[in-house]
Amino acid sequence: MPPGADAPVRRRKVLYLPGYDPIPPRRYRELYRREGADQAAISGYALTLGARRDRTGFGWGVTGKFDGQITEAEIEVLAWSDVVAASMGRSILATYGQLAKTAWAYIGSGALWRLMRLRRGPVIAALYPVAVLLGQLLLALIVAGVVWWLVARVLPRFWPIGIIPAAGALWGILAGFRRLDGRLLAYYLMHDYAFTAGDGGAYPPALQDRLTRFTDRLGTIAAEDWDEVLLIGHSSGAYLAISVMAAHLRAGPPPERPALGLLTLGHVVPMAAFLPRAAQLRRDLHELAGRQDIAWVDVTAPGDACSFGLCDPVAVCGVAPDPQHLPLVMSAAFTQTLSPQRQAELKNRWFRLHFQYLCAFDRPGDYDYFAITAGPRSLASRFAGRPPSPGRITRPVNRHTGMAPAP
């Protein structure tokens, strides 16, 4: 167990790094408020949301009462929604260009076939926007062809004129689908995967700059008087959090520091780390996995089709150190921690299930997001001695295992 991790936690700082999400971070406060109240009622503790002493960035305060013990936590969202929004401002034509480029990035590098050897669910999720966008284009082309044919039938001598209404029909159908994307999510997911693969897995400059700022923020907080500092990354935010934590530790944290924890939820690490130019991410994974002075718990679930459930994010990427100490890979076990009724309600709601890690469980098990972020035990203490979940996948299948040079 890392030094100081067994001491009771009375004051905790939580830094939450969301995934690829263009929506401003206040949605996470409302999600925490609503789901936290439900989990508290189910589990028999109390949570009260309020203001923070430190008003840097966006966040909220939480007072917890667990078996008579009072804890205070400040939760801060490491926002990069503006970077996400800027990457999504693409025309319909540019999005189809992204589709071709992203497909080639995964197919040409061999990453796609190796990803399928881990979990087919997230690969199918990645292929979903490709299939939907190509289906929309095919339908639009068929309708445009029919319009052109009708014009040629009615005005055979002026058949070239048919290209005008045909082009209008083509564009109108594609634009109509674009307006419906709040439900279909095809454009959103296409932008997500294109952002990850845009430079072969390397972080683009705008994101790298933001990660540097997040690292500086973590360094500032780690030097303050907290019992625990907990960095949480969800979805694609999981591998960003890994890079932030690795950079922080390379910078040389103060010798006397709070208990330091990393919690990764619903990770999609292989989607980035299997690409040829993700050398820095692979270096970060390798370095963190060999440490014993922090806690790192990785939580996924086989029922989450958008994540690489129970895949050790270090080992499957082929960069595990010898010996490998981290992370502890555990399952949120949706089939056990959600009642049959709740499972039925969430059936086929794959995007909602991907956020279940941040929500209440009506049959809670070892994993409790709100007890972890607002309870009196550190991440290391809570999971000390716990073995990895059965079914953990550790076989290295990554073709690209090169790492950036050690600093």
Q: Does domain 11-82+204-382 have CATH number 3.40.50?
A: yes
Q: How far apart are CA 173 and CA 147, in angstroms?
A: 13
Residue 4's pLDDT band, with cuts at 50, 70 and 90, is: low
Task: Sort 395 into a burial class: Cβ within 10 Å, 0-12 / 13-18 / 19+.
Answer: exposed
Q: Tell me, rounded to whole angstroms, the distance of Cα 299 from its chain centroid.
A: 12
Q: Is the pLDDT of residue 148 over 90?
A: no
Q: How far apart are CA 250 and CA 406, in angstroms?
A: 10
- For the chain, give the percent of residues with pLDDT over 70: 97
Q: How far apart are CA 234 and CA 220, in angstroms?
A: 22
DSSP 247-294: HHHHT---SS--EEEEEEES--HHHHHTSTT-HHHHHHHHHHHT-SSS
pLDDT digits (tens, 9 = 90+) for 356-371: 999 999 999 999 999 9
User: Which pLDDT score is estimated for 158?
Assistant: 66
DSSP structure class, residue 107: H
DSSP structure class, residue 393: B
Q: Rounded to 10 degrees, what is the CA torsion of 360, 365, 367, 369? A: 20
261 close to 224: Cβ distance less than 8 angstroms = no
46-50 sheet: strands from edge to edge: 46-50, 58-66, 69-77, 11-17, 228-234, 259-265, 295-300, 328-331
**Count of positions (residues) in the chain:** 407
User: Which pLDDT score is estimated for 160?
Assistant: 78
Residue 255's pLDDT band, with cuts at 50, 70 and 90, is: low
DSSP-based three-state secondary structure for 295: strand
pLDDT digits (tens, 9 = 90+) for 283-333: 999 999 999 999 999 999 999 999 999 999 999 999 999 999 999 999 999
Spell out the residues 6+ positions from residue 97 whose beta carbon is closer than 8 angstroms to its own.
Answer: none
User: Which pLDDT score is estimated for 3?
Assistant: 59
Q: How far apart are CA 253 and CA 256, in angstroms?
A: 8
Residue 153's pLDDT band, with cuts at 50, 70 and 90, is: confident
For the record, the structure tokens of 361 come out as 């469980």
User: Which pLDDT score is estimated for 151?
Assistant: 84
- Which residue would you say has higher pLDDT here, 162 or 239? 239
374 close to 73: Cβ distance less than 8 angstroms = yes
User: Which pLDDT score is estimated for 1?
Assistant: 60
For the record, the structure tokens of 189 come out as 């997911």
The candidate with the shortest Cα–Cα distance to 191, out of 300, 309, 101, 78, is: 101
Q: Is the pLDDT of residue 178 over 70?
A: yes
Amino acid at 335: T
39 close to 361: Cβ distance less than 8 angstroms = yes
pLDDT, averaged across the chain: 93
User: Which pLDDT score is estimated for 161?
Assistant: 79
Residue 216's pLDDT band, with cuts at 50, 70 and 90, is: very high
- Cα–Cα distances in angstroms (integers) from residue 345 to residues 144, 156, 224, in the given order: 40, 56, 43
- For the chain, give the percent of residues with pLDDT over 90: 84
Amino acid at 348: N
When pLDDT is averaged across residues 121-134 and rounded to a whole number, the result is: 92
DSSP 192-232: HHHHHHTTTTSPPHHHHHHHHHHHHHHHHHHTSS-SEEEEE
Amino acid at 326: L
